[in-house]
Structure 1
Amino acid sequence: MPITPNRRSVLKAGAVFAALPVVGFTDRRRAGPLAGDPFTLGVASGEPAPDGVVLWTRLAPNPLAEDGFGGMPARAADVEWEVATDESFSAVVRRGVTTALPESAHSVHVELSGLRPGAEYFYRFRTSGHVSPPGRTRTSPEPGSLQPFRMCFASCSHYEQGWFTAYRHLADEQPDLVLHLGDYQYEYAAGRSTERVRDHVGPETVTLAGYRQRYAQYKTDPDLQAAHAAAPWLVVFDDHEVANNWADGVPDEPDPSFLGRRAAALRAYYENMPLRPSARPRGIDMALHRRVDWGALASFHMLDTRQYRTDQPCGDVYRSDCPERHSPAATLTGAEQERWLLDGFARSRARWDVLGQQVFFGEVDLVAGEGRGYNPDAWDGYTVNRDRIVAGIVGSPVRNAVVLTGDVHAHWAAEIRERAGDPSSRTVATELVTSSITSGGDGSDTRPDVEAVLPENPHIRYFSDRRGYVRTRITPDAIEADFRTVPFVSRPGAPIATGASFVIADRDPALHRTGA
């Protein structure tokens, strides 16, 4: 069974280690004395493998500096790191030194190997006499393992629209893995949000300095820091990490400088996420889609639904319908990524094939009664591309397919039919959609506009407009999914509850509701 340390003791340890001499660390001062604590953005880990993980931090003694450099001097800084099997760091198994460069906003990505599979570790950093808070991470199990594990997934954390209380509760779940499915930060200028409870710093993010500053503001939030320090993350971006509803080289609003903005945004995204160095952007392109195995139990296919898509059909008008939705040339994934995904299905030997992606996969008719209307920014705008993915699941060795989704700021649970829109068609996969962390404000248990269209969508089994995340337990026999919700985000301190629970049984793609 997974190890479950006392989460509060891990957080408390950070203050203790910062105050005491650290055995094993040397005092490297290549950057010289700093104006303050450089670890204001916390620590993170990601990309777990059987023999290692990626460790991340970024030095920023003045995190909200307008130039995006976080108050760091314009020279390199040596950063020491160490990894231990215990939270007191009395059993250090790896240590080393990396260099934080000003051209990378003094971020570091330590790509570890040589660790034990399926093991828990603790890590921390030091530079110029300052010690970071510790983080907890773990490696994935050895190939062939069917060891159960706990995974939480989340999306859409708009700083202005609420407090990140749900991230704190996610940390307290002590998951083995966290997936973040996009809209980690929002690009809007300060004061634009109508649900505003706190303010962004700075104008709309269009420059590298602006994106760096915005990430820094989000990462100063202690609840987000707790979630990062609790477990390794797998991340993918959606639209707001760059700009609303962008599609490859096409912005939502006319912008002749958009490609430069995209390059700046992706560079800042890499600098602020626990990604492997192989994901470092090259100009406007970033290699984001990848496959991460958790033993033989789960294979995570992490998708990119922004960089390669064709422009949204129907003028990108919500609740619209048009023939262009069904164009064979329309693509959300791009041809190369589609081939990569279908090849992964064809080679699958996992008990569960999990798609970590951004926008609603299943069909959702958004118009009650006569007529039809869809979200063209989701897979409903690219139906032939979706049909090929579904056919790839059906015609492959995939044993169980589960789609994980963010974007829509509400909890949904749905069954995916072999033929979208045909209620007589068999169920071939399941879709679990997480609500937002804050985007949309407090929300409510339901919404009249959604209740009105549920009869048009019999494959949808659950909806809630509350904020939160999804907690899962994945075993060889089933995936247990709990839709976790908070009653408000307009002020701190919200409690956490479970709005609904479902079980997806092995070789049975139907959703089975459990509990009250």
Structure 2
Amino acid sequence: MPSAPTAAPVSRRRLLQLSGASAAMLALGIDAPSVEAAPPPGTEGMFSLGVASGAPRPDGAVLWTRLAPEPLAEDGHGGMPLKEVTVRWEVATDENFRDIVAHGRALAQPGLAHSVHPRVEGLEPGTEHFYRFRVGRELSPVGRFRTLPGAGETPESFSFGLVSCQAWYHGHFTAHRHLAAEEDLDLVVFVGDYIYEYGITETNLWRQGAEVGEAHRVEIETLEQYRLRYALFKSDPHLQAVHARAAAVAVWDDHEVQNNYTGPLSDTGIGEEDFAHRIAVAYRAFYENMPLDVAALPEGPDTDITAGFDVGALARFSLLDSRQFRDAEPADAAEQQRENRTILGAAQEEWVGERLASSEATWNLLANGVVLVPINEKSTDMWDGYPAARRRLLAQMAEAQNPVMLTGDIHKHVAAEIPADPDDPGEERLGVELVCTSVASDGDGAEDAGSPETWTRHDYVKLYDGRRGYVHVRLTPEEMVSSFHVVEWIEADDTAPKQLTARFTTPAGEPRLIPA
């Protein structure tokens, strides 16, 4: 039997480029020396926050876990001592781990909240794999991921779930329970508001049967508080089940830091220097708690979560950051129309343009935090606040086959055909936008919650539903099928059955949403 592949090495030059944690700390979060750093005696329940995988590739993925025997410890360390602990990992082609094809070890450290992000390479493309971690004698839950198809290969289909806005305190994660049970699921795409920064009080704690301690009652702003908030949300068994079910990729919106922040600016008037520190710790906690590759490790208040990958020749995914580089809210209508206003920043605009122009994939999917199609010029937090930047992006999307925008943010299911000319929306369509509702934010919701007429007055908007849920998308060489699922309640408990509120077919080469 040939020797099993192990974690991919990270060059010293790359480590030194990615500061924010020391090069040694970063290296040990991915791999570990041969010396064993044992857990403290008697420590149990290390894997209370579950496991996850992400950054999928044809030959591997990034694995993730965070050791936390007391996940809600208020110091943000999850009940772990301030010492290093060796974490072993292994990957197999079967759930019983009889055929182990990769293994290694990583060093969990207090500087990264005892999270590890081992990067696995050398696996077969287009293949289902199972993984687990071990600390001492304790085994983690088993997770699953499928490597991407090889370059140039065209799979018969590829399916993913689309989710966002999971305010834990507003209700149970019933949508995650149903998504984790989908028979056909290769990937989960999180499109923002993975956590919320607000203080949790009697006023907004609508999840019946839940209680939180005093430390959760204030708006979070320190690294310890962000770590604790991720632990609270990630302690949900249904969210853990989704992460264990399939690899996940994620972009953020605003609540991972602060509501409606724009670039370096706070929405509540916090000074730039103080807010830069808050951004830095928020971005650090995001990295610590998500299955991200090493390139996403922040350097102070700066990081790069943009990423792209190809599903063989079938689809190209591009993950966008629509929050960190955006210009401030416009002061007036003239400012809103300024040609050089940007939501992505110049470098990211160039990056996504190159990806779209060079793509030979049948489907070209972009994921970002806010709605792209024109809805209301007063909605300046969405792309409506950046009309010139939207025109530039649509011109880039027109260069690729079958462009699709994946979005969250608004706590409503919306399906829309993207007008080729947003300033004069006639009959010509460029692509489609799939907007997923929230997992929990705004509580139970209702089909007509919010202002449906603001959206449905546009003939290119084909669906509006204000209930909670998720979207399941299936891609084939011939079509995209998008299924919008909802649940009637989430505040009382997690037992609501899922309902299909709408399903659309988008034929390849025809940017339409045809009811199916």
TM-score (norm 1): 0.89
Classify the secondary structure of the residue corresponding to 1:262: helix
Matched, 1:104 2:106: no
State the match for 2:192 in structure 1: 182
Distance apart, 1:192 and its partner CA? 6.7
How far apart, CA to CA, are the structure 1 residues paired with 2:246 and 2:454? 39
> 1:177-211 CA distances to partner (integer Å, 9 max, x unpaired)?
11000100101112175462245552211000000
Matched, 1:270 2:287: yes
Distance apart, 1:458 and its partner CA? 1.3
Distance apart, 1:54 and its partner CA? 0.5
State the match for 2:434 in structure 1: 432
Is the 1:160–1:199 Cα contact (8 Å) retained in structure 2? no
Distance apart, 1:453 and its partner CA? 5.2
State the match for 2:179 in structure 1: 170
Go from structure 1 to structure 2 and tell me whether the alpha carbon gap of 1:449 and 1:62 turns closer, same or farther (over 3 Å shift): same
State the match for 1:405 in structure 2: 407
**Structural mapping, 1:139-288, within 5 Å:** 139-147=147-155, 148-174=157-183, 175-191=185-201, 193-194=203-204, 196-197=206-207, 198-199=210-211, 201=213, 202=216, 203-256=218-271, 257-288=274-305
How far apart, CA to CA, are the structure 2 residues paired with 1:47 and 1:29? 27
State the match for 1:12 in structure 2: none
Is the 2:37–2:84 Cα contact (8 Å) retained in structure 1? no
Is the 1:361–1:431 Cα contact (8 Å) retained in structure 2? yes
How far apart, CA to CA, are the structure 2 residues paired with 1:301 and 1:112? 21
State the match for 1:361 in structure 2: 372
How far apart, CA to CA, are the structure 1 residues paired with 2:42 and 2:481? 47
Matched, 1:70 2:71: no
Match of 1:381 among 385, 390, 415: 385
Is the 2:162–2:470 Cα contact (8 Å) retained in structure 1? yes
How far apart, CA to CA, are the structure 2 residues paired with 1:374 and 1:510? 27
Which amino acid is 1:150 matched to? S
How many percent identity over aligned positions? 42
How far apart, CA to CA, are the structure 1 residues paired with 2:202 and 2:53? 32
How far apart, CA to CA, are the structure 2 residues paired with 1:116 and 1:448? 47
Is the 1:354–1:403 Cα contact (8 Å) retained in structure 2? yes
State the match for 2:460 in structure 1: 459
Which amino acid is 1:112 matched to? V
State the match for 1:478 in structure 2: 479
Aligned CA-pair RMSD: 1.6
**Structural mapping, 1:28-67, within 5 Å:** 30-67=38-75
Classify the secondary structure of the residue corresponding to 2:54: strand
Classify the secondary structure of the residue corresponding to 2:118: strand
Classify the secondary structure of the residue corresponding to 2:344: coil
Greater alpha carbon shift after TM alignment, 421-430 vs 234-243:
421-430
How far apart, CA to CA, are the structure 1 residues paired with 2:366 and 2:212? 32
Unaligned runs of 5+ in 1: 1-25, 316-321, 366-372
Classify the secondary structure of the residue corresponding to 1:458: coil
How far apart, CA to CA, are the structure 2 residues paired with 1:159 and 1:500? 26
TM-score (norm 2): 0.89
Classify the secondary structure of the residue corresponding to 2:179: helix
How far apart, CA to CA, are the structure 2 residues paired with 1:95 and 1:79? 11
Classify the secondary structure of the residue corresponding to 1:465: strand
Is the 2:260–2:381 Cα contact (8 Å) retained in structure 1? yes
Go from structure 1 to structure 2 and tell me whether the alpha carbon gap of 1:99 and 1:29 turns closer, same or farther (over 3 Å shift): closer
Classify the secondary structure of the residue corresponding to 2:260: coil
State the match for 1:346 in structure 2: 357
**Structural mapping, 1:303-318, within 5 Å:** 303-314=320-331
Is the 1:27–1:127 Cα contact (8 Å) retained in structure 2? no
State the match for 1:6 in structure 2: none
Distance apart, 1:497 and its partner CA? 1.2
Is the 2:375–2:454 Cα contact (8 Å) retained in structure 1? no
Which amino acid is 1:388 matched to? R
> 1:363-414 CA distances to partner (integer Å, 9 max, x unpaired)?
003xxxxxxx4310000000000101111122x2x11100010000000011
How far apart, CA to CA, are the structure 1 residues paired with 2:404 and 2:124? 28
How far apart, CA to CA, are the structure 2 residues paired with 1:425 and 1:392? 20
How far apart, CA to CA, are the structure 1 residues paired with 2:310 and 2:211? 39
Classify the secondary structure of the residue corresponding to 1:254: coil
How far apart, CA to CA, are the structure 2 residues paired with 1:425 and 1:168? 39
User: Post-superposition, which runs of at least 4 consecutive aligned residues in structure 1 deviate over 4 A?
Assistant: 26-29
Distance apart, 1:88 and its partner CA? 1.0
Go from structure 1 to structure 2 and tell me whether the alpha carbon gap of 1:195 and 1:69 turns closer, same or farther (over 3 Å shift): closer
Distance apart, 1:327 and its partner CA? 1.0
How far apart, CA to CA, are the structure 2 residues paired with 1:34 and 1:192? 36
State the match for 2:9 in structure 1: none
Classify the secondary structure of the residue corresponding to 2:175: helix
How far apart, CA to CA, are the structure 2 residues paired with 1:419 and 1:326? 15
State the match for 1:23 in structure 2: none
Go from structure 1 to structure 2 and tell me whether the alpha carbon gap of 1:200 and 1:470 turns closer, same or farther (over 3 Å shift): farther
Distance apart, 1:423 and its partner CA? 3.2
Which amino acid is 2:200 matched to? A
Unaligned runs of 5+ in 2: 1-33
**Structural mapping, 1:14-33, within 5 Å:** 30-33=38-41
